[in-house]
Amino acid sequence: MAKKILEAFVDQLIASSHYEELDRLYLQNRVLALVGQIPLTYETELEGLIDLKDQLVFLAQEAGQIGSSLAEQEILASQLMDLASPSPSQLNREFWTNYQKSPDQALAHFYQQSQANDYIKIKALSKNIAYRVASPYGDLEITINLAKPEKDPKEIAAAKKAKLSDYPPCQLCFENEGYLGRLNHPARSNHRIIRLDLQGETWGFQYSPYAYFKEHCIFLAAQHRPMKIDRASMARILELVELFPGYFVGSNADLPIVGGSILSHDHYQGGRHCFPMEQAPMEEVFRLQGFEKVKAGIVAWPMSVIRLQSKDKEALLDVADKILTAWQTYSDPQVGILAESKGEKHHTINPIARLKQGLFELDLVLRDNQTSSQFPDGIYHPHPDVQHIKKENIGLIEVMGLAILPPRLKEELKQVEAFLLGESHELAPYHRAWAQELKAQNFDLEKDRVQELVRQSVGQIFCRVLEDAGVYKRDPQGRAGFRRFIESLGGHLVPSQHH
């Protein structure tokens, strides 16, 4: 049934938030203050809060209240959805009250709230292309990331010219909570952060607006300080998996090339997702002298991963710290591994923690950010022949077997499919060699098989990307090198019948 837009939006606000019928006129006026002189008689069939919000933003644009830029639309949208968001104090009180009864219930409620107020972009996320591809290491997960709206070139240019501000210091700072936004900084009016104490420090917990998997969340330090991987950070992620049952928690590496996109703010990522790497078994088990309570092994994975398991958190932390400290200064020229050159340190790790039925599990992924004249982007980085699919840094999520591929591929892969069917020769130049090779191998392709073929090939290329990023290659020489590192720690292999 059609309703006037303002009435419909306010109805939904009252139904989904702490407001009551008595607040109706107040809310109506708050909305009008934001959207300006829209036609009040405008009727709509829409019912959902987020759809109604999108309609109001469109009407505000039509009425000249805001311009056509994406930034202006997002700022208004975020202000409208702020009306559907509890205050930070109320939200935190509610979260920790629920947590006392059931941590799962507290998380479920906060997750649902973060979707209901459009902080998590559910509507946009449904555009992502996602599928699985079999590999020698198990099924890999492929995502072409279409959720983040792409700004047009004019907007990008305007954002670059916009006055630089040091507030908020970065996109992860606590100061983003409720921040209006501007051309070169996202709108955050509807953003809320749960506060928690971690190893005696204040940290924040929020969900990721453009989530890559279920309950994708971010844990951030209250203090704006650079990322650092050390014993303290591993202690924090182990405490977090205790605090948030069913979540994994991991960290990007803290060096350029192998690190994530934001090295300026200490943070971790987590969520409720079982990644391909988690399902990969240990292929060689070893014991470390003096650490009998900790089981350790090399994981059957394209990147170089040591898995530690123990019921004793402190013992696990001692071993992890020993491995990290050793790796930071470890070189093995026989296999091209170098801890530093010209005073620049090259070695760090991605630590990833889980807690399963009282057993702590910590994966340490060895990273090395050396470059060379042959590989100026990074020796352990996607090599040039696979960069047509993925040339960005391999961060935490990809390390675990979930590819986040750029939006350009949506159209480019369709062109490759058309080329394989002989329907078109429009190809991005960097895909030509790959497309020709695929065509040579599959000269009489049927139309209903072409998409699957291209997807499989993208999955195999992602597998190669991960192999490129592995510091110890999976050939006899690489395996021997990995064993030498384990032996340097005082580790000895356990014969396979004890696995």
Question: 499 pLDDT exceeds 80?
Answer: no
Query: Is residue 490 classed exposed, middle or buried when 0-12, 13-18 and 19+ CB atoms within 10 A define those classes?
Result: middle
Token pair 């190893």 is at which residue? 199
What pLDDT was estimated at residue 496? 67
| Residue 425 placed within a domain | yes
Residue 39 is assigned to a structural domain of this protein: yes
Q: Which of 66, 93, 112 is the last residue of a domain?
A: 66
* Tokens encoding 52: 């109604």
Confirm whether 48 is domain-assigned.
yes
Q: Which of 25, 48, 66 is the last residue of a domain?
A: 66
54, 69, 71, 42: which is closest to 12 by C-alpha?
Answer: 54
Amino acid at residue number 493: L
- Look at residues 18, 37, 66 and tell me which one is the last residue of a structural domain: 66
Task: Report the pLDDT averaged over residues 280-297.
Answer: 95
- Specify if 333 maps to a domain: no
Domain holding 434, by residue range, is: 403-469
User: Is the previous residue joined to 168 through a cis bond, with omega within 30 degrees of 0?
Assistant: yes
Residues 6 or more apart whose Cβ sits within 8 Å of residue 436: none
Query: Has residue 366 been placed in a domain?
Result: no
Residue 84 domain-assigned?
no
Cα–Cα–Cα angle for 306, 247, 396, nearest 5°? 50
Residue 247 lies in a domain: no
Q: Residue 498: which pLDDT band, with cuts at 50, 70 and 90? A: very low
What is the arithmetic mean of pLDDT over 465-470?
Answer: 98
Residue 123 burial by Cβ neighbours in a 10 Å radius (0-12, 13-18, 19+):
middle
Residues shown for the chain: 499
Work out how many domains the chain is built from and give that number: 2
What are the tokens at 455? 């997807």
Identify whether 53 is part of a domain.
yes
3-class DSSP assignment, residue 451: helix
Strands (E), 199-356: 201-207, 217-221, 248-250, 267-271, 282-288, 295-299, 305-310, 340-341, 344-345, 347-356
Asked whether the predicted pLDDT for residue 90 surpasses 70, the reply is yes
Model confidence, pTM = 0.95
What's the DSSP call for residue 152?
P
pLDDT, position 420: 94
Q: In the chain, helix, strand, coil percent, each to 5?
A: 40, 20, 40
> How confident is the model over 363-384, as a mean pLDDT?
96
